[in-house]
Structure 1
């Protein structure tokens, strides 16, 4: 039952926001009593924490699987972006904003785990890109990894990137292209532009 509650809560939180969805809403959607949920999760804070960690683990495992496909590092980043957006249901910035505002400690823990995971992945991606001649050899990998994480975090700011004005997909793809153009060699730019061309067809 734990997993069923987490799965349904995840779906509702990502669609409507962590603050907006009540325990009553989840119970009603599942056709169970609120008491049943409280037998598995002491309070809403516990459920929100379980949902965010479940999402993190699901996405982390998916990213690990993508990395084993041995795509070139530019294709790899686009594949990861698509996978993450699919699992977050192309979420608007609202759920993350609500998590940060109303559950700051959970958000802080999530950010820390994301930084550790993304930092390692980006460093490995940069190393592969340099080895394959797609990324410049003179880049500062530790700094670039932090720039990338900071950017990925900042583009979820609903005040800076109003989802009514900019779609999540557009923001994510534009940011990824921005990141890659900053570090790519001529060979890398050619691969990127071919990939963008194929995606727009």
Structure 2
């Protein structure tokens, strides 16, 4: 299995899965998108489930790198969260929410990998961000970072599962943004509130 062919298959399959979900996309559809035979795809992945699993692993690895980069370039903990939200807005713009339902129902291994990423990596990132914010005096020093980190992960997981998304009533980003704003104002100091307003106004001016 050559790495270049595997990467190409994953990249093109991702476009289809993110747009239409996994259930409605067949290996024939993927072969047509790739401009290659199904035989070549099966030489790299034994079936669609393995392809989906490998794709989710690849996406989680990319997300981990992107999150680390945003943390390093951020000015403070609140800026970090705003940068994460900008990244999330761009990422979710091309994702059909049905993909998360399909993963849960038809690709259990891939779905567990995604949930484990939330429970471990995102939990760790949130906790470090909260501790950073306390040191920077933008988050209250009386908050329990462990409890709030678990609560934040639970919020994110709920977003992927709620009928608010699956019904099409609200977008993924709209729900996450609302929850994030509520979360932030609940943990911020006065200095933090000022920063939130500054970043919010700055974002409005760039729209």
* TM-score normalised by length of structure 1: 0.93
Q: Which residue of 2 aligns with 1:137?
A: 141
How far apart are residue 71 of structure 1 and its match? 2.0
Q: Distance in 2 between matches of 1:79 and 1:9?
A: 28
Query: Any idea what SS the aligned residue of 1:91 has?
Result: coil
Q: Distance in 2 between matches of 1:13 and 1:164?
A: 17
Spell out structure 1 runs of 4+ moving beyond 6 A: none
How far apart are residue 164 of structure 1 and its match? 2.9
Q: Distance in 2 between matches of 1:72 and 1:115?
A: 24
Say which of 85, 88, 92 aligns to 1:84: 88
Say which of 107, 120, 127 aligns to 2:124: 120
* Deviation per residue, 1:114-152 (Å, 9 max, x gap): 321111111110011001110001111011001000001
How far apart are residue 77 of structure 1 and its match? 1.1
More helix, by proportion? 2
User: For the structure 1 residues 146 and 170, does the alpha-carbon distance in structure 2 shift closer, same or farther, using more than 3 Å as the test?
Assistant: same
User: For the structure 1 residues 82 and 163, does the alpha-carbon distance in structure 2 shift closer, same or farther, using more than 3 Å as the test?
Assistant: farther
How far apart are residue 12 of structure 1 and its match? 1.1
Query: Any idea what SS the aligned residue of 2:164 has?
Result: coil
Once superposed, what is the RMSD of the aligned Cα atoms? 1.5
Query: Unaligned regions of 5+ residues in structure 1, if any?
Result: none
How far apart are residue 38 of structure 1 and its match? 0.3
Moved more, 66-75 or 133-142: 66-75
Task: Report if aligned partners of 2:140, 2:189 keep a CA contact under 8 Å in 1.
Answer: yes
Task: Report if aligned partners of 1:59, 1:84 keep a CA contact under 8 Å in 2.
Answer: no
How far apart are residue 86 of structure 1 and its match? 2.5
Q: Which residue of 2 aligns with 1:99?
A: 103
Q: Distance in 2 between matches of 1:80 and 1:23?
A: 34
Q: Distance in 1 between matches of 2:84 and 2:8?
A: 26
Q: How many residues align?
A: 201
Q: Which residue of 1 aligns with 2:40?
A: 36
User: For the structure 1 residues 27 and 84, does the alpha-carbon distance in structure 2 shift closer, same or farther, using more than 3 Å as the test?
Assistant: same
Q: Which residue of 1 aligns with 2:113?
A: 109
Query: Unaligned regions of 5+ residues in structure 2, if any?
Result: none
